[in-house]
Amino acid sequence: MRSPTFSNLPANSRTSQRNPAPLTCASLGPYSHNLPRSSSSSTARALRARETRPPSAMTVRGAVGAWRRPRATIAARGVRAARRGTVRRAEEDRLGRAIGWSFLKTHAKACAFVSGRESRRMREVSARASGGDAPAAGTSRWSRVLQSLATTVDPTVAEALLDEELPPHEEIRRGTLENGLKYVILPNKVPEGRFEAHLEMHVGSVDERETEQGLAHLVEHVTFLGSRKRDQWLGSGTRGNAYTDFHHTVFHIHAPTTNKDGHYMPPNVLDILYDVAFNPALLDTRVAKEKKAVLAEAQMMNTIEYRVDCQLLEHLHWDNLLGTRFPIGKLDQVEAWPAQAVRDFHARWYFPANATLYVVGDFGADVDEVEKMIETSFENAAPAEGAEEAESPLSRHAVRPPVKHAYGSPAHEAGEIQRINDEAKAQGMDDPFMPFVAPEGKVSMFQHEHLSNASFNIFSKLPIKPLKRMGDLHRTVLQRIVLLVLQSRIQSRYTETNADYKRVELDHSDSAREGCCVSTVTVTCEPREWEFALQVAVEEARRLQEFGLTSSELDRFKAAMLRDSEQLAQQAGCVPSLENLDFVMEHDACGHTVMDQVAGHEALVRMSECITLDACNGACDELLGFIGEYGVSDDKRRETSGRTTAIVACVPATMPTVEGETVPFDITPARIEAVLAADYGEITPPEDIFVPEVLISDEDIVALVEETQPTFTEATMHEPTGVYQRTLSNGIRVNYKVLDAEPGSAFLRLVIPGGRSRESSEVGPGGIGAAAVGLRTIQEAGDVGEWSRKQVELLTMQHLLVYDVEPEVEYMFMDSAFATDGGLRTILEIIHLTLTKPNWDAQALERVKDIYRMFQINTKKNIELLTHDTVNSVIYQDRRMMDPNGEALSALTLEGVREVVEKQFATGALELNIVGDIIPEEVDDLILAFMGSIKMKVDPTVAASAVPLTLKEVPANDPVRKQRLWLKDSDERACAVAAGPGPSMWAKMPSLYSEIPSFVNQEAYTTAQIEAMRDPVNEVAQAKGNPFARQSVRRANPLATYCAGMMLAEVAGGRLFTTVRDALGLTYDCNFTMSFGLQNNDATTYRLLVTSTPEKIDDALNAGVRVLRGFKMQRVSQREVDRARLTLLSRHEMDLKTNQYWTDLMQCTGTPDLAPMKKIDCIAELPLMYEACTVEDLQEVYDQLGLGEGEMFTSVTIAGQTEPKQKLTESDVAKAAAAAAHLSAALGGLNIAEAIKNLQRKA
């Protein structure tokens, strides 16, 4: 069982992230930190009981929420993953989001792009590179495209269409104040009654001088936390944060339109942002405090993933400061800066003409009124005093970021770049931002002991080509289709070979934060497979260059893209303000036209006849030449082929052999280059694949229905929640809800009670790990019924369907998101065939075992995972609460895991949950046919085989309660975890006084007062008509402990931030969680996680523990309860707009054997229980936490090059003192020092 506060991805099996996280203030006040933006909120996590996290390397993130998709699905993720540490939600990739509102996000990446503007000369290059010789509209601009369309589309019609300007978003209002501050306003009603305001300062780490590295980030900390108005208004439903990147610093606030006290918030929020940027209190004390925070932050973020990111950036951007000027800066400089350095940097860069304000949301006012508010708040903004002395430019850079790039453009573009350089040189011009032509990149290698897999990142850096016309859109769609086809082909070959882990990910995306476009191929594999994995990627790129797509590939991917575009257009009014704001900011920075979703879809539909086979094949050379023709001389390269500009290999120092021995990983840059450039012989054309329309024919399902005669034995609708509840005659229960918040899409979860609790607690063929490994083996095999993995993947692509399976402690489940038009039938067919005819494949089993082994290796190399795992190993009773270890994995057999999993399939107690844009009558018909026709063979021994999951009984003085570890690492870091027993989420909460205590003088109180003492009432809740205002009623509700526990965790998080981080400066990251999740077992714990420096980690841990224990003396205050309540209710309200969150809430309401306390009424009662919770309720939960010396478990891990000296524990000191006393007595009462002197004299 792992804490939900850390990622379980193996270090370098994660998609390569060449973007180090933009640096943030992380937590800027109680209850504002770590607020989830999706339905994976703490409420949802607990109510759906998802605690055990399997190796995430098997999957990539899905598109609708925090669920995951199989790693081999055709949807590619890009190299740049979501920015870690920011409040902004990670942007999700979708198969067809290559147009309209989600254009940039479709480049298979999850990266927030902001800023970036091309120089005049670079715009000229980009325009000419688009297809001709002239930058303006004209016949030559699209010449290459028109040649590819000549046989299918009338040239005159095609040229007119390609040259047509894209329609800009009609509701966006842009303006500039007299002082130069720019603003963007976009009304948006989702979420209702809330809005976003982001102030972007166009200054980042690349603007720092040589002696200022890290100063932009420090100024961000000091300005935001130095605002008086921020403290006044944040909280009460308003939260804010900030982050710094290469090219900009962004301060962002999310707020209700009217807060709980009735204050209209837009003017106040704008005042906060004005105060932060243009009127901060840059006090010496605040600077000193934030320097400590930055140093602690640097320790926290210095993971192996971050170091890999830095290596990728360093070698990708060898040609400019982006490769070395990371936002965290140089720590020796950070320590040395006086407060005046902060003031000078602020004065130099924080002026209104260097700022852009984005305001998006439900303002409760029209755009004209919002515009007046902006003018009122910012009209007096001016450069700071001392701006001239600080050498402020007082005008915005024409180029963002202000760097020059070396491009790997194809020959016709490279020639143009070289010509412009030659002209400038001849005229004596010195343009510091003029791009130049890059030589072919060589391999740079980063080898580290903490890496488990080998990853090879092949880059081609190119200029951004602004999306302005239909021809630009056409080019982008073609590139997207080519990438998807290549991704699909390579991954298919990987899965068809041996069991060793291999993965490829492709990306072609514009990055305004880097001021360029980058094409990337990332191959990740086990070390012993590196040559074959690279060879396959090169061969398939060459095959696609040589023969192009097949007609059926084009038809499938084009149809899927159009379908996804249509779905996005349907969801136009349902996109959250934050996503809209990010999108506008990204597009503005890249110079793209911002379209709304509907206009984007209409543009794609009009363009569809120009998306032809010849056009796609023409894009193959331009997009894939940098990998397919690596090492080919210029005179033999295709004219349109791009060039590799950098290759970065991130590889482990050692590797396991087939026999299990660990040996050095022998690899060199020269060998990698040889594999990429090798001649692999004749390339043959690809084979086409038949894709079925359905997995179960109409005839077969009709026959099954006739045979089984399924019926509904119960069919009701729960009015308070709108949830339809059904029970099928075979025992399967179904909950579904119509929700139009995400039009055209739905989310499904199948719950299979049992999970890992049905495993044997011993090692064996069907022992520890059998359910976890077995369920994933079915998914890894990928075959469904008579259909191959490839056929199933292509069918699911057509329905925008992604699915994943996951084994939990008490149940197994399958998650799926899909387009409702046809997608529901497909996923129900997959479920039906998986439950009735699961395909078991020995190679798939070995692949899954290898992934678990890889995760085990990574756990030993990852400081956070290792620290948690150490606590887990001593606090839990058996390995079923954790991932199976090497011994357990080796003992598992295909027949053993099959038996464990299939017995759970046949229990008859399954639960199906569906939420989305669905039609009840259609849902009833489909579930009756595909779920009702499943024949259940209930095995009564299955339920009886469950062994209760409990915590270990560990003596109070057992030394295992205090673990201390050393992890060898090139860099110093430290992490600590404290854990102990806590109440189960369904634990009954006792009344305050069942009897009035004897110390209470009852004669001093009236009868009414005595009664109120026995059963107190929350008067505020009662005034609102809350049915749970009275304590006896509230505490009788099964949600009482859970709701009070979640609020207590919020309060504890606030106190930890205020004390350990802000006041003491001991850590940057200190958080507390209640691991609610187990439905029917008592192995519940709390977790305190602290990261710091090796020198401070013990003080930080002790300070965190003191804060938690301090609740006994400094009880929870009413103000803390109110703020926690507001945070959780706001989160709940936002999450209710998502399909997955509703699925989380409904889950297990139809599984009485698994979760007898969770009823459908709990969904409606959850917000009411939050509203009614009192200080006493939180204290009651607190009193159940095992925080004493003999109850708590701690683990401290210190990473560094040398093992630290062992610290003496209190027990060690006591034993040494006793031994000294004994020796002293034996020596006739002499003290130890005198005895040693006597011995020396005698000697």
Rounded distance, CA 227 to CA 101, Å? 35
Residues forming beta bridges with residue 748, ordered by sequence position? 816, 914
Q: Give the β-pairing of 406-407 and 436-437.
A: parallel
Contact 246, 325 (CB under 8 A): yes
Three-state DSSP class for residue 539 = helix
Rounded distance, CA 358 to CA 379, Å? 16
Start-to-end CA span in the chain (Å) = 59
Hey, what are 1002's tokens? 């009852």
Letter string b/e over residues 774-787, b meaning 16 or more CB atoms within 10 A of that residue's CB: bbbbbbbbbbbbeb
Residues forming beta bridges with residue 360, ordered by sequence position? 186, 196
Rounded distance, CA 1080 to CA 49, Å? 10
Helix runs in 548-629, H state only: 551-570, 577-590, 597-607, 613-628
Residues forming beta bridges with residue 235, ordered by sequence position? 238
Q: How far is C-alpha 918 from the chain's CA centre? A: 28
Q: Give the β-pairing of 1085-1092 and 973-981.
A: antiparallel
Residues forming beta bridges with residue 716, ordered by sequence position? 725
Rounded distance, CA 746 to CA 748, Å? 7
Contact 247, 513 (CB under 8 A): yes
Instruction: State the residue for tokens 């509904």.
Output: 712
From residue 724, give the alpha-carbon distance in Å to each of 257, 479, 597.
33, 43, 32
From residue 1087, give the alpha-carbon distance in Å to each of 367, 1104, 1124.
46, 11, 19
Rounded distance, CA 408 to CA 200, Å? 31
Contact 59, 814 (CB under 8 A): no
Q: Kindly state the DSSP code that residue 1110 receives in the 8-state scheme.
A: G
Instruction: State the residue for tokens 């991704």.
Output: 487
Rounded distance, CA 84 to CA 78, Å? 15
Catalytic one of 290, 629, 808, 829: 290
Burial class (CB in 10 A: 0-12, 13-18, 19+), 1102: middle
Rounded distance, CA 223 to CA 763, Å? 57
From residue 417, give the alpha-carbon distance in Å to each of 127, 405, 421, 646, 821.
12, 11, 6, 19, 48
Burial class (CB in 10 A: 0-12, 13-18, 19+), 428: exposed
What is the H or E stretch that residue 480 is in? Answer: helix 470-496
Letter string b/e over residues 20-54, b meaning 16 or more CB atoms within 10 A of that residue's CB: bbbbbbbbbbbbbbebbbbbbbbbbbbbbbbbbbb
Three-state DSSP class for residue 981 = strand
Q: Is 290 a catalytic residue?
A: yes
Residues forming beta bridges with residue 510, ordered by sequence position? 517
Hey, what are 1136's tokens? 């209710």
Rounded distance, CA 4 to CA 50, Å? 9
Catalytic one of 159, 196, 220, 742: 220
CB within 8 Å of 1004: residues ≥ 6 apart: none
Helix runs in 678-819, H state only: 698-708, 770-781, 789-798
Q: Is 220 a catalytic residue?
A: yes
Q: How far is C-alpha 1090 from the chain's CA centre? A: 21
| Residues noted as catalytic | 220, 290
